[in-house]
């Protein structure tokens, strides 16, 4: 059964959100705010429904031809049917809506990507029935692909040569130095590869380890964070969820008097941190420890009361233990890098009694998709 819906916005998850004639909220991938569309309801909840776009009754003047032939069937991209200007505007609106509880936030202009396609240097494909592709919104159905518009071109060349005889999930990861590594997602790959950032040079990372998937925006984000640490005029930096040590090492390289401590749960990543610090000649001022961020930070003994805390947690954000540790240590300044604005908003609410938000900047690390990165700078509220 089909129903008519009036679309009013792009939701934080990338779907368009609108209102059915019954007054019920509906989410539908592929529609645009301002359009009237016909949808087929495939999921009906008490408070909302989800629909499949069948027909556009009144088309938005912003609609453009999608650069992906699988859109909107493939959920990987959410904005390839509108100009990039529109995508960036809506991402900024989503960020500001999620942080609407906080007054007086200064929002810097969003940092957009130089290109919407062929930026992604790592992706996961699922192989079944001699086909490879992405999972659809139901996380079960395979959307077959022979190439991906947002993947780096060398990855697309490798997709055509994949062995499709075994049913599994594979990761393809590209670096200019080593080309494309292909490996089973379940088995992983400990091969050490080279990532290069213009701001800070070369970093070594395991092929199955974390590193930003968009080098162009990663460079801009790193440059911004380094400038914020420089402006903080502190002598001590503690970085939690530090990955392979990029932020600490880059900051130590730019600020000669800065001493850094990094914490990362992966022991292998901490080995990479230490090797990267040695390669950048900052080992004496950068120390890295393997373990749970909250547990190790609870034992952290800062040498300076004005130390700066830098956190870059996963999409789930920080747990209550971590928030309580921050409140106990009460660092003078906090830089929060987030890839999920909803959990960022939750964590900022939990920190609101101790910190004020100075400024927030959106970095479009994932153009064409529903996701983006943010950097939030907070300052400790002075004791009365």
- Which residues are the active-site residues? 339
Closest CA to 356 of 334, 340, 338, 375: 334
**Of the candidates 159, 149, 79, 153, which has an alpha carbon nearest to the alpha carbon of residue 126?**
159
Query: What is residue 128's three-state secondary structure?
Result: strand
Residue at token pair 């993947």? 151
Helix (H, G, I), strand (E, B) or coil at 285: helix
| CA pair distance 37, 211, nearest whole angstrom | 40
Say if strands 236-240 and 259-264 run parallel, antiparallel, or are unpaired: parallel
- Percentages helix, strand, coil for the chain (3-state, rounded to 5) are 25, 35, 45
User: Alpha-carbon distance 73 to 80, whole Å?
Assistant: 12
Provide the 3-class DSSP secondary structure of residue 356: strand
Query: Of all helices (H) and strands (E), which one includes residue 254?
Result: helix 246-254
Work out the end-to-end distance of the chain between its first and last CA atoms, rounded to an integer number of angstroms. Answer: 62
Q: Which residue has the tokens 């004496």?
A: 284
* 232 C-beta neighbours (distance < 10 Å), count: 21
Residue (of 217, 145, 205, 144) closest to 173 by Cα position: 205
Exposed (0-12), middle (13-18) or buried (19+): which is 276, by Cβ within 10 Å? Answer: buried
Counting every residue, how long is the chain?
384
Are 184 and 173 in contact, with CB atoms under 8 Å apart? no
Helix (H, G, I), strand (E, B) or coil at 117: coil
Q: Give me the residue label for tokens 């939030």.
A: 376
Cα(125)–Cα(135) distance, integer angstroms: 8
């Amino acid at each position: 059964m089909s129903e008519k819906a009036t679309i009013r916005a792009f939701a934080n998850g990338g779907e368009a959100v609108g209102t059915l004639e019954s007054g019920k909220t509906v989410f539908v991938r592929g529609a645009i705010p301002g359009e009237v569309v016909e949808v087929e309801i495939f999921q009906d909840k008490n408070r909302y429904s989800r629909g499949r776009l069948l027909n556009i009754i009144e088309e938005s003047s912003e609609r453009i031809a999608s650069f992906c032939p699988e859109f909107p069937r493939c959920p990987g991209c959410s904005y390839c049917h509108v100009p990039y200007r529109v995508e960036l505007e809506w991402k900024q609106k989503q960020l500001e809506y999620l942080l609407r509880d906080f007054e007086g936030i200064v929002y810097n202009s969003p940092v957009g990507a130089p290109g919407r396609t062929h930026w992604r240097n790592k992706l996961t494909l699922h192989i079944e029935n001699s086909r490879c592709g992405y999972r659809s919104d139901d996380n079960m159905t395979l959307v077959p692909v022979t190439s991906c518009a947002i993947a780096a071109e060398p990855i697309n060349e490798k997709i055509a040569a994949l062995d499709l005889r075994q049913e599994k999930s594979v990761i393809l990861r590209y670096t200019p130095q080593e080309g494309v590594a292909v490996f089973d997602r379940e088995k992983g790959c400990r091969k050490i590869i080279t990532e290069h950032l213009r701001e800070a040079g070369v970093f070594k990372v395991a092929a199955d380890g974390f590193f930003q998937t968009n080098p162009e925006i990663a460079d801009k984000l790193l440059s911004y964070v380094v400038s914020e640490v420089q402006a903080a005029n502190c002598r001590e930096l503690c970085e939690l969820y530090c990955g392979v040590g990029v932020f600490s090492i880059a900051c130590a390289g730019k600020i000669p008097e800065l001493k850094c401590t990094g914490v990362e749960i992966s022991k292998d990543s901490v080995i990479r941190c230490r090797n990267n610090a040695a390669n950048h000649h900052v080992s004496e001022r950068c120390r890295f420890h393997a373990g749970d961020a909250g547990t190790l930070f609870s034992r952290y003994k800062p040498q300076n009361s004005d130390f700066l805390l830098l956190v870059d947690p996963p999409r789930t954000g920080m747990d209550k233990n971590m928030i309580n540790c921050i409140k106990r240590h009460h660092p003078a300044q906090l830089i929060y890098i987030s890839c999920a604005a909803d959990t960022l908003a939750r964590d900022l609410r939990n920190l609101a009694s101790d910190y004020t938000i100075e400024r927030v900047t959106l970095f479009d690390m994932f153009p064409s998709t529903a996701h983006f990165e943010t950097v939030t700078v907070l300052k400790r509220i002075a004791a009365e």
